[in-house]
Amino acid sequence: MGRDREFTEYVGTRWPRLVRTAVLLGCPRAEAEAVVRDALVRCLTDWSKVRRADDRDAYVHRVLVERLRAAARHRHPEEPLPDRHDPVLDRLHRLPEDQRLAVVLCDYAGLDELQTAIAAGLPSARIEACLAPARAALATTQPLTSYREAG
Amino acid sequence: MSSPWTTALLERTAEQVIVLAPPVEPMLAEADRLRRRRRTAVGGAVLAVLVTLGAADVVRSFVDPDPKAWPAAAPPDGMRFVGVGRSVIAVPSGWATDATRCGQPVRDTVVLAPGPEDPCRAERPAGVRSVVVREGEVEGFHAVATYRVGGRPVERSALRCAEGTCSTMVRLPSENVTFTVASSAGTEALARAEVVAIAFTARVLDGHTAVPATRMLAAEYGRSAEAKYVAELRTLGLDPVVVPAATTTGADPGTVIGVSPEPGTPLEAGSEVRVRVAGGERAPQDEVAVGIGIVDEDRHYGGLTQEDIRRGTTLEVSQGTDLWAFADGRRSRTLEARQEGDSIVLDFWRNGPDYPTTWEAVHPGTTELTLSIRVDGRRVDLGTVRIVVTE
């Protein structure tokens, strides 16, 4: 299969979840599609690396995390994040970065702990240690409380 | 293992984010454009350096260089050697010398006088290549490989890339000289290749010594800079010729304002180095009036004025013409001349008024005649004229 076709199929199935992962990781909604597009273009430019990667999803998420970090560095520290009105996003934003990466990549992006460690550029043990406090912090948000009560 | 409760929470939150269709075609086009640009960048600049070096596998050679691969004691085409003492490295000919600001290169440059390290915390600009030459121990140098070039040991440090800049250090331990080669140009692959290609050319050039740096002279020695620099040139076995500036440049008298060949250029022992010095209110050459007189076989007289000589005029004379240089003033008795070419020969009439600055035009051809005086033992050039002898 050609590179462009592989890429098109990959993007077709992953695009919405990648954009939403970017938002959960703290990227403003207005920027999320641009950041994901930037990450995917970088992956496509070196698609042979994606092909060679032991884990394609982990590789692509690693590039996405790097682009998100780069975008955050260029954002003015005083610039308000537009999604703070959502209690879950607000709680995620207030988590330490390692915890936010661990819980979003594991519990939303669908990566396992090893893939999450690769994508976040952190040791597996660190991911393991971050998950419990991150999940506990999210459990205190109102929507989850309602969901648990309803379920 | 994921947590179903947290997953459900994040899914519900994420569903509120409206996502449009992926822009696949624009992404494919953008990736193509990036790939083309990267290929062009690497194929241009690196090719220039690598091909110039005449070593297609120069990158591999850097890791395990073959002394036979680089035996030349001359720089490759389009490049020039620069360095200190006998230690040289080849850089592209168009590079500047000491073009730095706040300790950072502002364009492609070799840095002979590094000065204080990063005095204003400036960041290195993108798109710039540099070689910094340092004598003595260099902090942070750690050799990861040693090889021999031209029979002399060369040590190199690891090649590192960080924040858009790739760099490595090459050390010539026998000379106690280190070259730091760095590039922030283009992609990382391009920067790495350029750094390697340039670092590979470092070597000891036997029988040569580089023209010393002048940049920090005024700051370190003030008005005695000229004397200090001339003494250093003599110590190195070079032949200094002081050329006072025709007009003051605002520099204090005695300040070295230019050197030819430029600093860093390796020269053979005994080579002439012209040192331009700010003359101040009255330069030494102003203390003498000089001229050249001629008379042909038909007894027609002519000649050149002091202004003609300073301007470097060409004088056409016929065979059989007599020529003489004369001077008047405080230092006139020290007038001397050097000639390049044999179309005129010294007139051996020792009792003549201008001996030994008298000649006879004997062959068709061109001779360059440089007139100078002595000032406190130093030779000070007054000008060079071309004498064209016709039949």
Q: How far apart are CA B354 and CA B206, in angstroms?
A: 43
Contact A11 B7 (CB under 8 A): no
Per the CB < 8 A criterion, the answer to whether B168 and B150 are in contact is no
- The CATH number that applies at residue B310 is 2.60.40
Per the CB < 8 A criterion, the answer to whether B203 and B152 are in contact is yes
Domain-located, residue B1 = no
Q: How many helices (H) and strands (E) does chain B have?
A: 8, 27
Domain-located, residue B13 = no
- Give Cα A137 to chain centroid, integer Å: 18
Q: How far apart are CA A62 and CA A45, in angstroms?
A: 15
- Give Cα B160 to chain centroid, integer Å: 27
| Together in a domain, B202 and B220 | no
Domain-located, residue B22 = no
Domain-located, residue B295 = yes
| Domains of chain A listed by start with CATH number | 3-150 (1.20.140.160)
Residues on chain A touching B42 (C-beta within 8 angstroms): none
| Together in a domain, B358 and B318 | yes
SS3 at position B361: strand
| Together in a domain, B89 and B196 | yes
Domain-located, residue B11 = no
Domain-located, residue B261 = yes
Contact B27 A37 (CB under 8 A): yes
Which runs of E-coded beta strand occur in B211-268? Answer: 239-244, 256-260, 266-268
Chain B nearest-CA distance from A27, in A, is 12
The two three-digit tokens of residue A10, written as one number? 């990959």
Mean pLDDT of A10-32: 91
Q: What is the pLDDT of residue B161?
A: 87
Q: Which ipTM was obtained for this model?
A: 0.88
Contact A88 B6 (CB under 8 A): no
Q: How far apart are CA B238 and CA B270, in angstroms?
A: 5
| Together in a domain, B221 and B347 | no
Q: Ranked by mean pLDDT, which of A52-56, A135-139, B68-72 comes out on top?
A: A135-139
| Together in a domain, B232 and B180 | no
Which one of B184, B206, B228 terminates a domain?
B206
The two three-digit tokens of residue B352, written as one number? 């003549």
| Together in a domain, B144 and B243 | no
Neighbouring C-beta atoms of residue B194, cutoff 10 Å: 24
Q: What is the pLDDT of residue B249?
A: 41
Domain-located, residue B130 = yes
| Together in a domain, B93 and B189 | yes
Q: Which residues are CB-contacts of B224 (< 8 A; sequence separation ≥ 6)?
A: B254
Which runs of E-coded beta strand occur in A37-150? Answer: none
Identify residues of A whose CB sits under 8 angstroms from chain B CBs.
4, 7-8, 11-12, 15-17, 19-21, 23-24, 29, 32-33, 37, 40-41, 44-45, 47, 86, 88-89, 103-104, 106-108, 110, 112, 131, 135, 138-139, 141, 143-144, 147-148
The two three-digit tokens of residue B105, written as one number? 């290169």
Q: What is the pLDDT of residue A109?
A: 93
Measured CA angle at B364 (ends B360, B369), to 5 deg: 55
Task: Give the mutation candidate from A21, A43, A44 for the B interface (greatest B CB count, under 10 A).
Answer: A44
The two three-digit tokens of residue B241, written as one number? 């010729």
- The CATH number that applies at residue B217 is 3.30.10.20
Nearest to B13 among A4, A16, A86 (CB): A86
Residue A38 pLDDT greater than 80, yes or no? yes
Among A20, A5, A41, A50, CA closest to B26: A41
| Together in a domain, B306 and B360 | yes
Give me the torsion for CA of B156, B159, B162, B164, rounded to 10°. Answer: 110
Residues on chain A touching B35 (C-beta within 8 angstroms): 45
How does pLDDT run along chain B (391 residues), one tens digit per residue?
A: 678 888 999 999 898 888 888 888 889 888 888 777 665 544 454 455 554 444 444 444 444 444 444 445 677 767 889 999 999 998 888 888 888 776 778 788 999 877 665 555 566 777 789 999 998 888 888 888 888 887 888 898 888 888 788 899 999 999 999 999 999 877 777 788 788 888 888 889 988 999 988 766 665 666 667 778 888 899 899 998 888 775 544 456 667 778 889 899 999 888 999 988 876 656 677 767 788 988 887 767 778 888 889 888 899 999 888 888 988 766 778 889 999 988 998 876 665 667 788 898 988 999 999 999 888 888 888 899 999 999 8
Please tell me the total count of domains within chain B: 3
Q: What is the pLDDT of residue B61?
A: 41
Q: Rounded to the nearest 5°, which phi and psi values hold at B91?
A: -130, 155
DSSP state letter for B334: G
Contact A106 B8 (CB under 8 A): no
Per the CB < 8 A criterion, the answer to whether B145 and B158 are in contact is no
Domain encompassing residue B303: 284-390
| Together in a domain, B305 and B189 | no
Q: How far apart are CA B321 and CA B179, in angstroms?
A: 55
Contact B20 A135 (CB under 8 A): no
Strand partners, B182: B130, B167
Q: Rounded to the nearest 5°, which phi and psi values hold at A120?
A: -85, -15
Mean pLDDT of A5-23: 91
Q: Return the percent helix, strand and coil in chain A, to nearest 5.
A: 75, 0, 25
- Identity at B19, one-letter amino acid code: V
pTM of the model: 0.45
| Together in a domain, B222 and B294 | no
SS (H, E, C) B33-70: HHHHHHHHHHHHHHHHHHHHHCCCCHHHHHHCCCHHHC
Q: What is the pLDDT of residue A82?
A: 53
| Together in a domain, B324 and B239 | no
Which one of B206, B229, B257 terminates a domain?
B206
Domain-located, residue B16 = no
Contact A106 B2 (CB under 8 A): yes
| Together in a domain, B62 and B202 | yes
- The CATH number that applies at residue B72 is 3.40.1000
Which one of B259, B277, B295 terminates a domain?
B277
